[in-house]
Amino acid sequence: MKGIVPFYHLFYGLEFHRFFTRPPDFNSQIKFQIRFTVNNAKQLYQRVHQNNGFHPCYTSIYDTGRKDEANQKMNPEAMGYDRAFFDFDIDNHEAHQLKKELQDLRSRGLFHQKKLQDETMETLRNLIIDERIAAPAIDEAKRFAAMFKEWFGSYPILFFSGCKGCHAYTFFEPINDVDINRCLTWFAEETKETHDYQTMDLSVTKDAKNRLSRVPYSKHQYTGLTVVPFQVDDSYEDIMAKALSPGIEPFSREAYYSTFGEYLQGIDPILKHNMEVEKKQRTTTQGNLDKPLNPMVDDHRLFFKSILGEPEGEYPEKEYLMYRCPFPGHDDNKASFRVHKAGYYCYGCGKKGNYFQFLKEYHGWSDEEVKNHLKTGINKKTVKVKIP
């Protein structure tokens, strides 16, 4: 496909350390190598070209930090996270049965009963194109993209998966000082629950740094449809037409850069601290181990309303509140203190944390003083804070 190597250059980088994987989803009677190392766009294209249409073509979402050909393990210290990946997929019984039939046929050979394979593939493809079974996933991905742009400044790039789902990528400046699994898991779970994304697959974020994703412009092995990008205003028919007759579209990674990386860096220490506090509570609290020190701490928006009063800005659709910063020494003339469910972050002075950190820093209390204060019941509005 003309232009595919330049596209991979832009999408993955000029040089990288990734794994290309072609995992068979059937029991093959012939043993063959599943994983290969790829270091540049040309090598990746060669692997895709060799396997396209026969096996799924996956590659590592993140540069693995691998340093030599013999090293088949990731180097966590060398990994830099420059993107986030989200997956949307639907569960369809008829499609599942057709895939099982194809898996059974191919387990006896890729060309075993080729005519029957082609007929089954065509039935599955028609189910996707004519019956529009991928529409729920595509529609939710578009809705997610619109929400994401409003929150983080730019749309993610969306790809049809070639079967019954789609993918979303957002890019940002590389970061390596966050627990990417913890951050993406929390964000995906909160987003899925809050916005009722039925097709969002949470499994891809639980172990994000080890995850694989379908290579753009590769063909799905059971439909022959191509993994193609689409826009939020593309119709279902437009997307299917691209998947049937793909052409390399212009791509600029900068067009899909967002502030999501900064967001991950902001929530990571909050989530870490929350986990440490919860762990201490489980090991030290006698009686009801599941009871938190204060029920309002489950949602920091309620906690801060209880001590700061009504916010200057409340954004239910974005799940956060805005106050003028209450910390001494910050002359906050506008609302720059953002409070979301898991904690707070001030865009002015840079202070961030959770309820425990706030009480400790604002009052200059020790850990023990904060614990004693929480035990008295913070929900009684005993803390008086002046807003500048």
211-248: pLDDT as tens digits: 899 999 999 999 999 999 999 999 999 999 999 999 99
- Residue 76 pLDDT exceeds 50: yes
Whether 385 is covered by a domain: the verdict is no
- Residue 60 pLDDT exceeds 70: yes
Average pLDDT over residues 53-69: 83
The percent of residues above 90 in pLDDT, for the chain, comes to 51
The percent of residues above 70 in pLDDT, for the chain, comes to 87
* 3-state secondary structure string across 318-387: CCEEEECCCCCCCCCCCCCEEEECCEEEECCCCCEECHHHHHHHHHCCCHHHHHHHHHCCHHHCCCCCCC
Q: Tens digit of pLDDT for each residue in 284-317? A: 544 443 444 454 467 888 888 878 888 988 887 7
Report yes or no: 332 and 325 within 8 Å, Cβ to Cβ. Answer: yes
Do 249 and 298 have their domain in common? no
- Residue 365 pLDDT exceeds 50: yes
Do 43 and 133 have their domain in common? yes
Which of the two residues, 117 and 2, has the higher pLDDT score? 117
Q: What distances in angstroms separate CA 346 from CA 108, 332, 350, 354, one per listed residue?
A: 60, 10, 5, 12
- Helix (H) or strand (E) holding 126, with range, is helix 114-129
Overall size of the chain counted in residues: 388
Residue 224: DSSP 8-state? -
**End-of-domain residue from the set 231, 258, 285:** 258
Q: What distances in angstroms separate CA 135 from CA 127, 162, 165, 264, 267, one per listed residue?
A: 11, 13, 8, 30, 33
- Helix (H) or strand (E) holding 181, with range, is helix 180-195
* Distance between CA atoms of residues 203 and 192, nearest Å: 12
Whether 388 is covered by a domain: the verdict is no
Q: Phi then psi for 368, rounded to 5 degrees? A: -65, -35
Crossing angle (nearest 10°) for helices 135-152 and 260-284:
100
Whether 387 is covered by a domain: the verdict is no
- Residue 72 pLDDT exceeds 70: no
Which domain range does residue 362 map to? 261-380
Q: Phi then psi for 60, rounded to 5 degrees? A: -60, 135
Do 82 and 209 have their domain in common? yes
Long-range contacts of 242-248 (CB under 8 A, 24+ apart): 242/160, 243/160, 243/162, 244/129, 246/1, 246/217, 247/1, 248/1, 248/2, 248/3, 248/4, 248/6, 248/7, 248/217
**End-of-domain residue from the set 242, 258, 274:** 258
Report yes or no: 333 and 312 within 8 Å, Cβ to Cβ. Answer: no
**End-of-domain residue from the set 258, 293, 319:** 258
Query: What is the model's pLDDT at position 266?
Result: 86
Q: What distances in angstroms separate CA 240 from CA 158, 215, 223, 263, 346, one per listed residue?
A: 14, 18, 12, 34, 44
Per the structure, the count of domains in the chain is 2
- Residue 148 pLDDT exceeds 90: yes
Whether 46 is covered by a domain: the verdict is yes
Predicted TM-score (pTM) of this structure:
0.75
Q: Which of 161, 215, 172, 174 is nearest to 43 (CA)?
A: 215
Q: Record the tokens describing residue 224, joined without a space.
A: 């022959």
In the beta sheet, which residues pair with residue 257? 171
* Distance between CA atoms of residues 191 and 189, nearest Å: 6
- Which value, in Å, is the radius of gyration of the alpha carbons in the chain? 24
**Measured at the alpha carbon of residue 144, what is the angle toward residues 195 and 216, in degrees to the nearest 5?**
145
* Distance between CA atoms of residues 163 and 225, nearest Å: 7
CATH number, position 336: 3.90.580.10
